[in-house]
Amino acid sequence: MTPEVDLTDRERAVVNAFQGGFPVVDRPFEPAAAAVRERGVDITATELLETIRDLDDRGVLSRFGPLVNAQEIGGTATLVAMHAPADRFDEIVERVNDHREVAHNYEREHPHLNVWFVVSVAEESRVEEVLAAIEDETGQETYNLPKQHEFRVEAKFYVDGPLSPADAGDPTDAGIDLTELGPDVSPRDESTLSPAERDLVLEIQDGLPLTDTPYADVAAAIEQNLEWVLETTKRFEREGKIRRIGVVPNHYALGYTENGMTVWNVPDELVPEVGPEIAGLPFVTHCYERPRHEGVWPYNFFAMTHGRSEAESQRRIEQVRETMAEFWDVTDEDWDSLFSTQILKKTGIRLDERAAANTRTE
């Protein structure tokens, strides 16, 4: 299978190498390039930086830097489904998207629930307010599907070539992990942010500067010293406030156009067993337990898969079904696949208000 974009072997190696595990040190491209060379790809620190910068400019990457875990920063986000009749589809979508709290919005293939969006707010009570406003403006009922249990969020998209899963010999063992480099820090038991930590989160949420010294540039931007930025970034990574640090691919640019949200009516008592098994499938990027809505939505388990062709996507969905069938007698009524047919809005989850509301006074 070949990605949609035309990538050199070096570019493929970079995409595969650092979708996480990028070092938190003063000049991170130097140890990163050395690690790539150790794995047979000739590249200097300057060439690594230039390659990432070029991939970013061409839209192959969404960004480079920390992937912030919004859930751990403050506030909340929830998935919402609703119906938009064909004759009012554009009008309803426009009204939904006009709400600044709506981050992502997709049209998905389903006979009734065809609009799926994410609401992100600083205060959990605001979810009901936003949904009430949307219902009032559109005349359509919304179905709130908050995450009840997260089994996996690991949206990594590899390409064929050096340092790919096939090259590594293990589908779970692609890439390079340099997280051991950097300050020796310990997690803290703090659910709120200091003002300086809030500033750091807001500065890095869209990525790091593509320079030789990205962390020093961040430090200068928020008027903190470099050592504090390195230590806090590393600690956030260990605490789960940052999921990982590295390149964030644009999966559509890499040819992963088949975006299949599989949904399952898993017996409640089996969810704790099923969840880790499905999350362990290397091609499942997101895996959650969510509530049912009686008479409308019978599914309580979501597993997101991505493929570079319809055939690849169907094979992966069948692997999910086969794994499910190891736990109970799965029938056709027990599951469905909702493919996205249109991106209606994608602004990303903005953390400004959520971080501010969760910042302590010092």
Q: Within a 13 Å sphere around the CA of 287, how many CA atoms are in the beta-carbon half?
A: 21
Q: Give the pLDDT confidence score for residue 61 in this predicted structure.
A: 95
pTM for the full predicted model = 0.86
Digit-coded pLDDT (tens) for 153-177: 888 888 888 888 765 445 555 689 9
Report the C-alpha gap between 120 and 99 in whole angstroms. 10
Least confident of 138-152, 223-237, 308-322: 308-322
Residues forming beta bridges with residue 143, ordered by sequence position: 81
Number of C-alpha atoms within 13 angstroms, CB side, residue 39?
A: 21
| pLDDT tens readout for residues 99-146 | 999 999 999 999 999 999 999 999 989 999 999 999 999 999 999 999
Compute the Cα dihedral for 16, 70, 304, 281 and give only its sign.
positive
| C-alpha–C-alpha distance, residues 67 and 243, integer Å | 6
165 alpha-carbon distance from chain centroid:
19
Say which residues have a Cβ less than 8 Å from residue 341's Cβ, sequence separation at least 6: 107, 108, 109
